[in-house]
Structure 1
Amino acid sequence: MSRPTGDTEPSEFGFQQFPYVQEAPGLDEAQLREHYGWFRGYYKARPRRYFDLQRWLNQARYGQSFDVYLARSAWYAMGGIAAGAVFGLAVAWLLAASGVVEGLTNPLAYDGAVVYYIADYKALFAGAALATVFAAAFGFGTWYVRYHYPRLVVSSRRRNIDVTLPHAIVFMYALSRGGMDLLEVFGVLADSEETYGEVANEAEMVVREVELFGNDMFTALRNVRSLTPSENFEQFLDDLLSMLDSGGDVTVFFEDEAESYLEEARDEQQSFLETLGLLSEFFVVLFVAAPLFVIVILVVMSLLGAQTLAELTLLVYVMLPLAMVGFLVLLDTLSEPYVQPEVRFGDDEEDIESGLALLWAVVRDAIPGVRPRPSAATAMSAECQSRQGSYLAHRRRRALRATLADPLAAFRAKPVWTVAVTAPLAVLVGWGFVAAGLATPTWEAMLERPIPTTTWLFVLPLLVVLVPLSAFHERKRRREQYFATRFPDTLSILASANKMGIPIDEALGLASRWSSGPLSEEMATLRNDLRWNHDTRSGLRSFADRVGVAQLSRTMTLIAEGIRSSTDVAAVLTIAARDTKERFKLDRERRQELSPYIAVVVIGFLVFLLVVALLDAAYLAPIADAQAEATAPAAGESDLPLSMTAVPVEAYKALFLHAAVVQALGSGVLAGKLASDDAFSGLKYSIVLLVVAIATFALI
C-alpha cells in the first residue's frame, strides 16, 4: 500500500503516533478490511472523520488508535442491539399477557385489509415494534456512550490538572530551589501522583519522552504541550519553553509562575463569589417567591370552585424537591473546579484491615490450618513463615482491640458511616411509634392528624439519622479548620528555628510545646516518628494521613521532597509556610464572603413558613369552621357557596405542612453548599429549620 504524497495529516493531535492509514474514501479499503477486519478496515479508511475521537483518546491517555476503539464499540453496540431486542420482546410478552395489547385500537381513520391483518396479529406486530425500538435505543445508546466517554475522561483530567497545577508549580519551585535540574524536578513530580494527580501524569509523559524516546527536554515539553487537555498547563509549558529558549533561570521562572497563579486564583475566586451571589438571589426567586405565588394562586382558584389539589400535590412532592436537587447539582458543578481532591499516602503493605475484614482475619488466625499460605513470590522457610504469621496476627489483634476500645473512631473519620447504624434505628423508631399507637401509616390518618403523624413517622426518624451525621461531620470539619488555621504559623516557627541552627526534630519538639490541643499532640508524634524511624518522608506522610487535610498533605509532600533535594531546610519550610498561608487565606476570605448567604437562605425560608402558616391559620381554619357549622345537625340547610364546601381543607393543611418540611430540609442543605461548599455542613441548619417548621404548625 503506497503512501500518497502531500500534507494529508492533521497539523495538531495528528495520527503520527500510529501507523499511517490512507485518507481517501474507498482507496484500498478492501485491503484494509482484509488485513485488519471489516470494522477496523472501514474506520482506518476514514481517519479525518474521527479526528476528534483520536484527540480525545490521546488526551485521555488510552494508548490505542481510534479504529481499535471504534471496532470494539461496534461490537458492544451489536450486543446492545441484541439485548434491546430481547428486552423489547419481554415487554411485549408482559403487555400481551396482561391484556394491554388486545385493548389497542386503530388510531387512524383508514380502514382496510392491512388494518384487519394487523388486528389479527396484534401481539406479533407489537413484539416486532417494541423489539425494534428497544434494539435501536440500546444499540445507539451504547455506541453514543462509548464514542463520547473519552471526552468525559478528558474533561475530568482537565479539571484535575487545573485544580492541582498551582500547587504543583510551588512544589517544582521548592525542588528547583534545592538544586535539582529540570528533568529531575519533573521526575520527582511524576512520582507524586497520589498528591498531584493528573499533573504528575503529565510530568511522567515528559520524563518518558526524554528517557524512553531519547528526545531532548525542549522537544519533550513541546510534545506534551500538544497533547495536554488543560489550557492552563499548555500555557505553563509555553512559558517554560520560551524561558528555556531565552536561557532564563528556571528557579526564578517557577517562583514567578507561582505568584502569577496565586493572583489568578484570587481573581477566579472573586468571580466565583459574584456568581454565587447571583445564585443566592436566584434561590430566593425560585424557592421562595415562585412557590408562594403558585400556592396562593392555587388556593384562590380552589375557592372559586377549581380542583387544584393535584397541582399542589405535584408542586410539593415532585417539583419543589427536584428543583432543589437540581440547584444543588448546579452548585456542585460550579464549585467542582475549586475543590481540592483528597490525598492519602497509606502504603498497601502497612494497611491493616478494618471492620468485618479485620474481625474475620482475627477469627481466621485463631483457627489452625486456615491461615492463608504465602505465594511463590514470597516463598520463605517454615520458621520465617511462622514468625511472619504470628507477627501479623498480633498486629490484627491489637488493631481489633483498638477498634473495640474506640468504636466511634470510624464515625469520626467517615461521618457518613453513621447512616449504616442510624438508618435501621430510624426504621425501628418509626415502627415503635406505630406499635405504640401514636401514629398510623395511612393517608386518612395524615389528613386527620397531619402534625403528629408527620412528626412521629417522618420528622423524628429523620432526626435520628441527621443529628448524629451532622454532629460527627461538624466535629471533623472543626478539627480540619483548626489545623488549617494553626499549621501555617507552626511552619513559620519551624523555619525560624531551623534558621537558628536547630535540627528539624528538635524544632518539632519546640513547636509541640508552643502549640496546644491536637496540633501539639501531632507535632510530638511527628517528632518521635522522625527520631525513632529516621525516615522524614514516611513520617511527614503519616502525619498528613492522620490530619486528613488536603492542603496539608500537599505541604507535607513539598517539605519531604524539598528536604531530600536540598540542604537548606529553612528555605523549604519558608516556601511551604508562605504557600500554605496564602492558600488558607483564600479559603478564609471565601468563607467570610459567603457567610451572609446563610442569612439569605434562612430568611427566605422564614418568609415561606410565615406565608403558609398565615394561609393555614387565616384562610383554611375559617373555612374548616364554616364547613363544620354547615354540616352540623342543627344547622339546617347550608348557606355556604358550593365552591367553599368543596375545598379540601384537611388535604391543604397537610400539603402546607409538608411544603414547609421540604423547604426546611432543602434550604438548610443549600445554605451549607452556598456558604462552605459542603452540603453536609448544611444539615445543622436543616435540623433547626425542621424543628422550627413543626413547632410553628403545632402552635397555630
Structure 2
Amino acid sequence: MASPLVFAPLVAVLGALFALAAAPLAPSIDRSVSRLSLSAFGRFARRRRDANPDQVAALQGAHVPQTYRVYAARTYFYATVGALAGSILGVYLVASVLVFLGTASEALQSRFPAAVQSLFVDGVGGFAVGELFGIFLASGATFGVLAGYAAYQFRWSMPSYRAGERERRIDASMERTVAFLYALSRSGMALPEVLRILARNREVYGESAEEMGVAVKDVDMYGADILRALGRLGHRTPSEELAEFAENLTSVLQSGRDLPGFLERQYEYYAEEAEAQQEQFLELLATLAEAYVTLLVAGPLFLITILVVVGLTLGDTLTFLRFTAYLLIPMATVGFVVYLDSITETATGGATVDEEDSESASRFQSIRGRPARTDGGQTESASTPLNRQRLDVYETLRPILYRLRNPVTVIRESPTVLLYGTMPLAALYLAVQWWPLVAAGSTDLAAYDGPLVHAALFVLGTFTVAYELHRRRVKAVEAGVPDFLDRFASTNEAGMPVVQSFGRVVGSDLGALSTELERTWADVQWGARIEHALGRFRDRTDTPAISRVVTLTTNAMHASGDLGPVLRIAANEAKATRRLERDRRSELLTYLVVTYIAFFVFLAIIVALDVIFIPNIPVVEAAAPTDQVPGGGGTGAFSRTANLTQATKDAYSLVFFHTGLVQAVCSGLVAGQMGQGSVKAGAKHATVMLALAYGTFLVLA
C-alpha cells in the first residue's frame, strides 16, 4: 500500500488551485496573490509594457480595474502555477495509467493493441528507475507546458474579448448618446455638464455613457481640461466610432465652431449608420436562420435516420441516438442561442435613481445619520435608537410586503418573479408523481417522462402568459412616446410653460400611455415637482424609451424652460427607433415561419420513423441464423434485422419521443431569440411546439 506522503504533492497542488479559484471571492487571498505576483514578476512585467501595446489597449478597453504591471504579473504567476500544477498532475496521471495497465482484467487487455498489451504484464514494476524517471519527466513537461500556455493565453484573451464586447455595445448606443448630447447642448447647457449628466445615466444610455464617464472622471477628479480628457478618451476606448467622434469633438471645441450644429450632423450620420447596421444584421440573421435549419434541424434529422438504418442492419446505435437527443441537440442549441444573444443584444436602459431628483433617497437621511446635539448639550432620547431600528426594519420589509400585497402587479411588472413560484410547484408535482415509481423500483423511462412534460408545460405556459402581458403593455406604452413628445414640443414651442404644456398633452389620446400620464399629472396636481413626478412615471413604466425621454426632459429643464427643440429632437429619435423596430419585426417574421416549418418537418419524419418504419420491421424473440431472416430467405447486411426484439423497438420509440420533445423546446427558444431578440420570448414558442409534439406522439404513437 502506498504511503500517504506519496499524495502530498497532489494535495498541495489541489490546495493551491483552490486558493487561486477563491481569490476573486476573498479579498485577503486576492491581495496576497497580487503581492506574490508583484514580488516575483513585477519588474519583468514593467519592462514588458512597452513591448505589448495591444495588451495595454485591451486592458484599458475592457476597463480592467488593475494596472498593466499588476495584471501582467498575475498572469505570469498564474501561468507558472499552472505549469507546476500541470507537471505534477501529469505525473500522477501517467502513474495511474501505468498502474491501471498492470492490474487490468484479461477481457479488457484483449481490446488494446499488441504494443500496449505488453505493458499489462510489466506494469509499473516492469520499468527501471531511469525509464520511469524519463516517462514522468516527459509527461510532466508536456502537461506543464500545455497548462502554463493555456493559463497565459486565457488570461490575455479575456480582456480582448471584453473589449470587443464593449466596442460592440458602444457602437450600438452611439446614436442615442449623440442625440442626448445634441439635445442638451441645444438647450444651452455647457458640454462638461452634459457629459456629467450622461455619465450619471449610464444605465439608460449604455456603454457609450460608461466610456464618457472616463472623461468626466479625468476632469472632476484629476483636474484635466475637457480637451485633454477627450483626447485620452479617444486613445483608451475600444470603439473606433467613439474615438473618431471624440477626435472630431475636440477639433470643434478647439476651433470654436458651432457645437450644436456639429452634434446635429453627427446624430444624422449615426442614424444612417444604425439603418445600415440593421440591414447588415438582418442579412446575417438570414444566413444564421439557414444555418440553423441546415445544421441543427436537418442535420440531426439526417443523422438520426442514418443511425436508425445502420442500427437495424449492422449493429446497435441506440447509444449514438441517445447522445444526439440528450446532448448534441441541446448543447448545439445553447451555443447557437448564446451567439444570437451576443449579436442581438443592445444597450437597453432601465430606471436610474438620480440623487437630485429622488426624494426617497434623502427623505430619512437625517434620521439614519448621527444625531446632532442640541445647544444644551443633551444627547438623543432613549426612544430614538428604538425608532431608528423600527424604521430600518420597516424599510427592509417594505419591498417584501409590497410583493405579498400586490402579487399580480409584481408579476405583471417582472414576469421572471413568477418562476420562483411555479418551479417549486412543478418540483412538488414531480415528486408526487415519481415517488411511487421510485418506491417500486421502476426503471422504465417512459413512465417518468409524462409528468416531466406536464411540469414543463405548466412552467413554460404560465411564464408565457405573464411575459406576453408584460411585453404587450410595454410595447403599447412605448407606441405613444413619439406622439407624446411631438405634442409636448408643439405646446411648449407655442409659449406654454412646462407644467401647463404637460397638462394639455395629458388630455389627448395616446393609447396605453394616457393612463400613466394621467397618474403623473395627478401627482403634479397634488403638489409634486414635475421632475419628481416624471421620475416616478419612469419607475412605474420601466421601459428603455421612457427612461431616455424622462432623463432627457428632466435634465433639460434645469438648463432652460424652452424645451421645444429638445423634445423635438427626442421625438425624431423615438420615431427613428420605432421605425427600425417595425422594419426588423417584419423581416424577422419570415425567419420565425421558417423555424416553425423546419420543426414540423422534423416532427413529421420522427413520427413516421416511430409509427410507420419501426413497427413494420419483423420482430423475433431470439437471434436467427445470420444467413436468413424471418419469413423468407435472404442474406447480406439486412439479415441482422432478425435481432430486433420488441424491447429494442420500444427503446427506439422512446428515443424518438424524447428527440421530438427536446427539439420542440430547442426550436422554440431559437424562434424567440431569432424573432424577438430574447430567449424569454421563446417560452411562448417552446410551449406551443412542446404541446404539439407531445400531443402528436400521444395520438399517433
Query: TM-score when scaled to structure 2?
Result: 0.79
1:601: Cα distance to partner?
Answer: 0.8
Match of 1:459, as an amino acid?
Answer: V
Q: Distance in 2 between matches of 1:553 and 1:340?
A: 12
Aligned to 2:350: 343
CA distance in 1: counterparts of 2:142 and 2:225, whole angstroms: 56
The alpha carbon displacement at 1:48 in A equals 3.3
1:261 to 270, 274, 284: 270
Which stretch of structure 1 is more off in the superposition, 289-298 or 264-273?
Answer: 289-298
Name whichever of 203-212 and 489-498 sits farther off.
Answer: 203-212
The answer to which of 141-150 and 469-478 deviates more is 141-150
Match for 2:263: what amino acid?
F
- Work out which of the residue numbers 491, 500, 514 in structure 2 matches 1:520: 514
2:573 corresponds to: 579
Q: Report deviation, 1:603.
A: 0.9
CA deviation after TM superposition for structure 1 residue 671, in Å: 0.9
Counterpart position of 2:246: 237
Q: Which runs of 5+ in 1 are unaligned?
A: 1-35, 353-372
Residue aligning to 2:686: 686
Letter in 1 for 2:352: F
1:568 match: secondary structure: coil
1:696 aligns to 2:668 (yes or no): no
Conservation of the 8 A alpha-carbon contact between 1:623 and 1:649: no
Does the 8 Å contact 1:439/1:456 carry over to 2?
no
**Among 460, 483, 489, the residue aligned to 2:483:** 489
1:611 is matched by which residue type in structure 2?
I
Q: Secondary structure at the match of 2:250?
A: helix
Per-residue CA deviation, residues 653-693 of structure 1 (Å, 9 max, x unaligned), is 11221121112111111111111111121211111111211
Q: Is the 8 A contact 1:434 1:440 kept in 2?
A: no
Q: 1:321 to 1:254 in 2, by over 3 A?
A: same
Tell me the CA shift for residue 442 of structure 1: 4.8
Instruction: Please state if 1:463 is matched with 2:457.
Output: yes
- Pairwise mapping of residues 241-390 of structure 1 onto structure 2 (< 5 A)? 241-244=250-253, 246-336=255-345, 339-346=346-353, 381-382=380-381, 385-390=385-390
Distance between the aligned counterparts of 1:109 and 1:86, measured in 2? 26
Using the TM superposition, give the Cα deviation of residue 166 of structure 1 relative to its aligned residue in structure 2, in angstroms.
Answer: 1.3
Once the two structures are superposed, the pairs formed by residues 73-92 of structure 1 within 5 Å of their partners are: 73-78=75-80, 80=82
Percent identity over paired residues: 30
Aligned amino acid, residue 621 of structure 1: P
CA distance in 2, matches of 1:395, 1:517: 35
Partner of 1:603: 597
Between the aligned partners of 1:466 and 1:565, the Cα distance in structure 2 is: 48
Residue 72 of structure 1 aligns with which residue?
A: 74
The partner residue of 1:48 within 30, 47, 50 is 50
The aligned counterpart of 2:18 is none
Alignment of 1:524-543 (within 5 A): 524-532=518-526, 534-543=528-537
Aligned to 1:673: 673
Q: How many residues align?
A: 631
SS in 1 for 2:681: helix
Amino acid at match of 2:69: D
Alpha-carbon spacing, 1:208–1:300, altered in 2? closer, same or farther (3 Å): closer
Compared with structure 1, are the counterparts of its residues 539 and 118 closer, same or farther at alpha carbon in structure 2 (3 Å cutoff)? farther
Query: 2 CA distance for matches of 1:609 and 1:456?
Result: 18
Contact between 1:340 and 1:551, CA under 8 Å: does it hold in 2? no
Q: Assess if the C-alpha contact under 8 Å between 1:77 and 1:143 holds in 2.
A: yes
For residues 385-406 of structure 1, the C-alpha deviation after alignment (integer angstroms, 9 at most, x for no partner) is 5554455555566655433222
CA 509–270 in structure 1, closer or farther in 2 if over 3 Å, else same: same
- Give distance in 1, aligned partners of 2:45 and 2:397: 59
Mapped to 1, the partners of 2:391 and 2:161 lie a distance apart of 46
Aligned to 1:413: 413
> Counterparts of 2:439 and 2:484 in 1: how far apart (Å)?
56
1:500-649 equivalence runs, <5 A: 500-515=494-509, 519-532=513-526, 534-623=528-617, 627=620, 639=632, 642-647=639-644, 648-649=648-649
1:173 to 174, 177, 182: 182
Q: CA deviation at 1:52?
A: 2.0
The CA RMSD over aligned residues, in Å, is 4.0
Q: Hey, what does 2:27 align to over in structure 1?
A: none
Alpha carbons of structure 1 residues 310 and 435: separation in structure 2 relative to 1, 3 Å? closer
Deviations along 1:307-342, one digit per CA (max 9) or x if unpaired, are 332332222222222222222122122223xx2334
Contact 1:173 1:254 in 2 (8 A): yes
Q: Distance in 2 between matches of 1:60 and 1:507?
A: 44
Q: Secondary structure at the match of 2:475?
A: helix
CA contact (8 A) 1:412 1:472 kept: yes
The whole-number CA distance in structure 2 between the counterparts of 1:46 and 1:619 is 67
Deviates more, 1:241-250 or 1:548-557: 241-250
Query: Is this contact kept in 2: 1:544–1:556, CA < 8 A?
Result: yes
Cα deviation, 1:552-609, whole Å, max 9, x if unaligned, reads 2122111111121122122222222221121122112111111121211111111111
Structure 2, unaligned runs of 5 or more? 1-37, 110-114, 362-366, 374-378
Contact conserved, 2:665 with 2:690, CA < 8 A, in 1?
yes
Distance 2:194 2:287 in 1: 42
* Partners of 1:127 and 1:350 in 2: CA distance: 69
Q: Distance in 2 between matches of 1:439 and 1:684?
A: 35
After superposition, where does 1:113-124 map in structure 2 within 5 Å? 116=125, 118=127
Report the AA paired with residue 298 of structure 2: A
* Segment drifting more, 175-184 vs 382-391: 382-391
* Structure 1 residues 638 and 435: alpha-carbon distance in aligned structure 2, compared to 1, 3 A threshold: farther
91 and 193 in structure 1: CA distance in 2 versus 1, 3 angstrom threshold: same
Note closer, same or farther for the CA distance 1:120–1:463 as it changes in structure 2 (3 Å cut): farther
**Is 1:480 the equivalent of 2:489?**
no
Compute the displacement of 1:46 (Å).
3.8
1:620-669 superposed Cα distances (whole Å, 9 cap, x missing partner): 12226x558999xxxx9864864222233222211221121112111111
- Aligned partner of 1:227 in structure 2 is 236
C-alpha distance in structure 1 between counterparts of 2:123 and 2:614, whole Å: 59
Q: Give, in whole Å, the separation in 2 of the partners of 1:342 and 1:646.
A: 62
Counterpart secondary structure, 1:666: helix
